[in-house]
Amino acid sequence: MANLEETRAWASTFFADLRFNGKNGALPYRLHLPGRYERGKTYPLVLLMHGYGSIGSDNWGPLFFCGLFAGNPKVDLDNVFILAPQCPADGTWIEITDDDKWLGVKYTMSREPVAPMKIAMEILDHVVSSYPIDRKRLYVGGNSMGGFATWDILSRHPKTFAAAFPICGGGDPAQAAAIATTPVWAFHGDADTTVLPEASRRMVRALQELKADVKLTEFPGVGHDSWTPALTKPEFAEWLFAHSL
């Protein structure tokens, strides 16, 4: 695993520490701006949804996932916006039931998004409306709870994102038709006992049945931390930014 605090400290130097207060409530968020703007040019944006281990109100926790993504050699920080909201300590990105317990094999999407998710999507709308962002090149991904959040976002906002990368998360196969319009590269460790690999497999199977553009990479012998090998793969970032609506 990459060094947690060193990665966060590095990312903090170029991710602004911001707060948002909207109609559904308030959340802190991190935002990386491109190194420079060119007149008349629009830029892609990546929405990063962190895992349960980064919940809180300090706006520090999400920086590890941000730093791993930003450190990929194929991520051009001069030409991309990166947005990362922080889920509060008393909340989650999705509604999880007792019978699933984050294993991801019985997960069913709630009828309505939970409050932190509503605010996160408000932040996304705010940022996209405030900066020169290419709405055809919006991307979303997350790890663990953020992987669940990624599947949830794709289910509720079809045809919004150009590509997505849920990492060691789970989703609701009943929502596959809505997700099928978005290319997905899912990742999971085959030795994960926190969120079982079957959580990703069942989503991928449902999408494959619909002939969707989807693939799953399982890392042999890797437990829950499949985000480090996933986000550091240069070909992952190349794949992501090659997509556009």
What is residue 197's DSSP assignment?
H
Which pair of structure tokens corresponds to residue 66?
């941000």
What is the mean predicted confidence (pLDDT) over 154-179? Answer: 98
Query: Can you give the length of the chain in residues?
Result: 245
What is the mean predicted confidence (pLDDT) over 57-80? Answer: 96
Number of structural domains in the chain: 1
CATH number at residue 211: 3.40.50.1820
81 has pLDDT over 90: yes
Question: Edge-to-edge strands of the sheet including 184-189?
Answer: 16-22, 25-32, 81-85, 43-49, 133-143, 163-167, 184-189, 214-219
What is the mean predicted confidence (pLDDT) over 200-205? Answer: 98
pLDDT at 167: 98
Share of the chain above pLDDT 70, in %: 99
pLDDT at 2: 65
pLDDT at 4: 87
1 has pLDDT over 80: no
What is the mean predicted confidence (pLDDT) over 51-56? Answer: 96
The full 3-state SS of 67-122, as one line of letters, equals HHHHCCCCCCHHHCEEEEECCCCCCCCCCCCCCCCCCCCCCCCCCCCCHHHHHHHH
What is the mean predicted confidence (pLDDT) over 107-133? Answer: 97
Q: How far does Cα 15 stand from its chain's mean position?
A: 16
Instruction: State the Rg of the chain over Cα.
Output: 16
Please list the residues that pair with 215 across neighbouring strands.
185
Q: What is the pLDDT of residues 25-47, one digit of tens each?
A: 999 999 999 988 888 899 999 99
State the burial class of residue 233 (Cβ atoms within 10 Å of its Cβ: 0-12, 13-18, 19+).
middle
64 has pLDDT over 70: yes
How far apart CA 20 and CA 13 sit, in angstroms, is 20
Report pTM.
0.96
- Calculate the average pLDDT of the chain: 96
Domain coverage including residue 70: 4-241
